[in-house]
Amino acid sequence: MVLEDQMKRLWGVIEDFESRIKNLESGKSTSEEVRMILMGPPGAGKGTQAPRIKDKFNCCHLATGDMLRSQVAKKTPLGKEAKKIMDQGGLVSDEIVIGMIKEELENNKECRGGFILDGFPRTVVQAERLDGMLKERDQKLQHAVELQIDDSLLVARITGRLVHPASGRTYHSTFNPPKDRMKDDVTGEPLIQRSDDNPDALRKRLVTYHKQTAPVVGYYKNSGIWKGVDASQEPGQVWKDLLKVFDKKA
């Protein structure tokens, strides 16, 4: 076991060295790391902007729903515990979600460049738990970005949204259509429209979102890391405004 542990640590050093070489070759500073939360109502554009941030910083995108499904599929201890709760119709605890995030940060190679959290925290208690977990790692959040858009504009956006289930890539039948109808641009696999992407379901989700998120926004405003970005603009302009958030001179 001692030899096995030593080999694992050695491989970790080698992989970290390779990652640093890759960053230098690409012109990316090894100290350039992003640790952020991306907030916004359904249809605000998180699924469009998060992959761009991920590519720029060579970091991981941790969407809590995707993480949960992955843990259940892989039948990890956390996944088994979560499945048991969900099968009984219960809500997965903060401890399980924090545990999943911690596991990803420790074991997901992409997370060495930092992370984007999407869908968590949803409450002030969860935000405090997240801060505590990061403190144990001698880290802290750098940015809490809220994509802001009027509810009335979201109906048109959400009812035309198309999703690639495996990757989470999103398209829109009018504003951002795929190259081939109902097919993912990267894999060519079929796109779907989620059953709850309809006006009535959206309005209910928005009520819940605003009720939950307002205190969380206040929490991060008090900490000084909150930034709001106008998400009613076209995606290219939203991206330009997001880049200003990461500009240390801004």
Residue 209 in marked binding region: no
Residue 175 in marked binding region: no
Residue 43 in marked binding region: yes
CA-closest candidate to residue 98, choices 125, 138, 60: 125
CA-closest candidate to residue 173, choices 150, 197, 152, 196: 197
CA-closest candidate to residue 105, choices 64, 144, 137: 137
Residue 122 in marked binding region: yes
Residue 171 in marked binding region: yes
Residue 42 in marked binding region: no
Q: Facing residues of 117 across strands? A: 37, 62
Q: Which residues are catalytic?
A: 46, 122, 161, 194, 205
143-148 and 34-39 strand pairing: parallel
Residue 203 in marked binding region: no
Beta carbons of 39 and 146 less than 8 angstroms apart: yes
Q: Which residues are annotated as a binding site for AMP?
A: 64, 69, 90-92, 119-122, 126, 194, 205
Q: Which residues are annotated as a binding site for ATP?
A: 43-48, 161, 170-171, 233
